[in-house]
Amino acid sequence: MKINIINDISNLAQSEFEVVERKGRGHPDTLADRLAETLSRTYSKYTLSKYGAVLRHQFDKLSLMGGKCEVRFGGGNFRSPIRLLINGRVTPKIGDETIEFRDLLANTAATFLEKELRNFEFLVDCRIMWEITSNRTRGMTDNKFKGTSAIHHRFNPRSLKDLPEASHALANDTAVGCAWAPFTPLEEMILEVEKTLTSDESWAKYPWMGSDCKIMGCRTKEDVRLTVAIPQISTFVNSEIEYKANIKTISSIIQNITDKYPFKHVDINLNTGDHTDNEMLYLSYTGSCIESGDEGQVSRGNRLGGVISSRRPFSIEGLSGKNPSYHAGKLYSVASWDIAQEIWKEQKIPCEVYIASQIDRPLDDPWVVIINSTKEIDVSKADQIAKRILGSLPQVTNNILEGKYPLV
């Protein structure tokens, strides 16, 4: 493969402006992304352990659809359940052996959602809907082979011999993955604010803290404006006085974080949608707007790296829920991330990485690889890093299964 090195990038952290957003842990889109990826990892590990390969699947069209809750100071209740649509394709059997995947996926979803949502019981407060197929993608020009070719059995394999990824993976699609390094101080600050507010430690210390946090940060030179929205759990807030006291606590937590960063001024705006005169406070029964009609879908939230950074390159690929062993858009995205982070670690040079595939081309031989960086980059070392990582994609798959990438 040829690694194309281009010198056409500046340091975003030193630019005149940037705009960075993060949808927090309990935002419906983040929940959908995280659940889809959790289902994929669970199914992958199960089939890898039992059959020796990650069998074909994709949950990247998963949706969470909002329910309806009554919310009041000191309490609340569900009026109608949220709905979980598990939509995609799954290998239902290998040879003559059926794979009982529905119980596996339903139990995984129940465990995930009951951990992420307060006052929530999966069997009562969620209705699950299945739209799962095992249909093949490829057509046939004639019936000469009567469908006996391995390519027509990839979602219904007769044995692992029908799966190229069991030996030498091929790209399933023509797609592009891209990534960048390093984080800017604004990106780091926004990630730290959200992860601190919605961490398990914060939930234990502040049981009234919700998880559907959303942050928008705008930097102009050295001045930053932050808008932060985060709900409070209605069952732990008994009055408007308590709500306002909690707001002060949240503001203090944010201030303690922002004070550590090298900005001239940070203006914090918290829960700007609150209006006590018309009974509008950000109270939530479960901690997420999924309870009240909002919906979550895979790939509508944070991009690779955990932020929506408007001046960064990113692909339209929805990474969560896709097969980690052969899906080019997913593998090349995280491989790009590894390459970019490694270049930054070794050379301290900001860079962007783009990798494009061609359908059925070997994954370890991408169609196009571009590294875009400053003029100071050591071309030879960058080339070596890219070839080493692209030559060890099975390890990239293992890292995905272990949750080592900031997909959301």
- For residue 133, pLDDT over 70 is answered with yes
Of the ranges 106-115, 122-131, 133-142, 336-345, which one carries the lowest mean pLDDT score?
Answer: 133-142
Q: What DSSP letter does each residue of 181-248 carry, written as one string?
A: E---HHHHHHHHHHHHHTSHHHHHH-TTB-S--EEEEEEETTEEEEEEE--EEGGG--SHHHHHHHHH
The answer to whether 263 and 222 have CB atoms below 8 angstroms apart is yes
- 326 and 179 belong to one structural domain: yes
Within-domain flag for 361: yes
What is the band of 139 on the pLDDT scale with cuts at 50, 70, 90?
low
pLDDT at residue 5 in the model: 93
Mean pLDDT comparison of 10-19, 153-162, 227-236, 269-278, highest-scoring range = 227-236
- 179 and 319 belong to one structural domain: yes
- 249 and 117 belong to one structural domain: no
- 260 and 200 belong to one structural domain: yes
- For residue 107, pLDDT over 90 is answered with yes
What is the band of 276 on the pLDDT scale with cuts at 50, 70, 90?
confident
- 240 and 199 belong to one structural domain: yes
- φ, ψ of residue 154 in degrees (nearest 5): -70, -30
Alpha carbon separation from 246 to 20, 236, 238, 270, 349 (Å, rounded):
26, 11, 11, 11, 42
Closest Cα partner for 357 from 174, 165, 164, 177? 174
Last residue of one domain, picked from the residues 77, 111, 136: 136
- 123 and 56 belong to one structural domain: yes
Residue 386 maps to which CATH number?
3.30.300.280
Within-domain flag for 141: no
> pLDDT of 354-405, one tens digit each?
999 999 999 999 999 999 998 889 999 999 999 999 999 999 999 999 999 9
- 9 and 107 belong to one structural domain: no
Within-domain flag for 84: yes
pLDDT at residue 275 in the model: 85
pLDDT at residue 149 in the model: 73
The answer to whether 228 and 268 have CB atoms below 8 angstroms apart is yes
- 270 and 315 belong to one structural domain: no
- 59 and 78 belong to one structural domain: yes
Residue 87 maps to which CATH number?
3.30.300.10
* pLDDT averaged over every residue in the chain: 94
Last residue of one domain, picked from the residues 279, 296, 313: 296
Within-domain flag for 375: yes
Question: How much of the chain exceeds pLDDT 70, in percent?
Answer: 97
Within-domain flag for 114: yes
pLDDT at residue 134 in the model: 85
> pLDDT of 248-275, one tens digit each?
999 999 999 999 999 999 999 999 999 8
* Residue ranges making up the domain that contains 12: 3-17+175-183+301-401
> pLDDT of 40-94, one tens digit each?
999 999 999 999 999 999 999 999 999 999 999 999 999 999 999 999 999 999 9
- Name the β-bridge partners of 20: 217, 309
According to DSSP, the β-strands at 232-233 and 214-220 are unpaired
Within-domain flag for 166: no
- 179 and 317 belong to one structural domain: yes
pTM attached to this predicted model: 0.94
- 179 and 313 belong to one structural domain: yes
- For residue 20, pLDDT over 90 is answered with yes
pLDDT at residue 154 in the model: 84
Residue 193 maps to which CATH number?
3.30.300.340
Last residue of one domain, picked from the residues 233, 261, 296: 296
Write the single-letter amino acid at 67.
G
- For residue 145, pLDDT over 90 is answered with no
Within-domain flag for 164: no
Q: Which residues are CB-neighbours of 352 under 8 A, at least 6 positions away?
A: 9, 178, 179, 180, 313, 340, 371, 372, 373
Within-domain flag for 158: no
The angle formed by the CA atoms of residues 56, 87 and 61, to the nearest 5 degrees, is 85
- 227 and 268 belong to one structural domain: yes
The total number of structural domains that make up the chain: 3
pLDDT at residue 238 in the model: 97
> pLDDT of 190-236, one tens digit each?
999 999 999 999 999 999 999 999 999 999 999 999 999 999 999 99
What is the band of 316 on the pLDDT scale with cuts at 50, 70, 90?
confident
Closest Cα partner for 238 from 73, 72, 75? 73
pLDDT at residue 341 in the model: 98
What is the band of 138 on the pLDDT scale with cuts at 50, 70, 90?
low
